[in-house]
Chain A
Amino acid sequence: MTTTTDQIRQILSEHGRLAQDVGSLADDADLYQAGMTSHASVSVMLALEGGFDIEFPDSMLKRSVFESIAAIRAAVEELAHSHAGVPAARN
């Protein structure tokens, strides 16, 4: 079963333009330090929207939301739960 993290990693692999293999990155690794540019982060954002059927509001179109796999996962889960009318789980 593909997890949210797996799907995020796949999207980063296809759109993130990272200088290193996504598989080698820890969930909290800085994606910008790994080579993701501002343009690539926009492509990642759009791919996440399509892949998870979510829409990032303007307030979340900021650097910190896309700085790590963990940050992206938190944002995706928040938006997915919001979309479904379910409060996001707190871990």
Chain B
Amino acid sequence: MNFFPRVGVDIVLVSHVAASLDRLGEAYTKRIFTADEIHYCASNPVLAPARFAARFAAKEAALKALHLDDEGLDLRNVEVKQTPGGWCELVLHGAAKTKAEAAGWASWSLSMSHEGDHAAAVVMVLASEGKGDVLAR
């Protein structure tokens, strides 16, 4: 079976996320992030905005890698999980999982970073050939 790469990247301003946290509160966090994501991010109030920002970037990066064009998707279906080793993994649920399977996602990796007012994430995917729009994209 042949595989082809897919990638998505996103960058978010931490200050914008901080403003949304302040102004929208739980309406913001509970609509975008899972309970586990909220628990981890909120565990350090100083780093919380940067952590939320990085995870938002991860979700957007995953959507870009999925090549969804103009489809609606609950961002909580794309979850960032902390591993005991300290790195993060992307876990897909519901419609995101279904779309990834349809697109032939065989394996994927996530990397995030944040410094100052910037948070970024990249999602790398290996998708099996014959699924999804290989030639169209």
Asked if residues B27 and A46 are in contact (CB atoms below 8 Å), the reply is yes
Asked if residues B17 and A39 are in contact (CB atoms below 8 Å), the reply is yes
Interface size of B as a range: 20 to 34
Residues of A31-71 whose CB lies within 8 A of B = 37-40, 42-43, 46-47, 49-50, 57-65
Interface SS majority for chain A? helix
Q: Which B residues touch A63, using CB under 8 A?
A: 70
Asked if residues A58 and B73 are in contact (CB atoms below 8 Å), the reply is yes
Contact with A along B54-87 (1 / 0, CB 8 A): 0010001000000000111111000000000000
Asked if residues B10 and A43 are in contact (CB atoms below 8 Å), the reply is no
Judge whether B24 is part of the interface by a CB distance below 8 angstroms: yes
Asked if residues A61 and B60 are in contact (CB atoms below 8 Å), the reply is no
Q: Which A residues touch B70, using CB under 8 A?
A: 62-64
Q: Which A residues touch B102, using CB under 8 A?
A: none
Judge whether A9 is part of the interface by a CB distance below 8 angstroms: no
Contact among A43, A61, A65 for B73, CB-based, below 8 A: A61
Judge whether B137 is part of the interface by a CB distance below 8 angstroms: no
Residues of B83-137 whose CB lies within 8 A of A = 95
Asked if residues B71 and A62 are in contact (CB atoms below 8 Å), the reply is yes
Tell me, rounded to whole Å, the shortest Cβ–Cβ distance linking B84 to chain A.
30
Q: A17-B16, A39-B16 are in contact. Are A62 and B72 (CB under 8 A)?
A: yes
- Spell out A's residues near B (CB within 8 Å): 15, 17, 37-40, 42-43, 46-47, 49-50, 57-65
- Spell out B's residues near A (CB within 8 Å): 10, 12-13, 16-17, 20, 23-24, 27-28, 31-32, 56, 60, 70-75, 95
Q: Can you list 15 A-B pairs, Cβ within 8 angstroms, ordered by A?
A: A17-B16, A37-B12, A37-B16, A39-B13, A42-B32, A42-B56, A43-B20, A43-B28, A46-B24, A46-B27, A46-B31, A50-B24, A58-B73, A60-B72, A64-B70
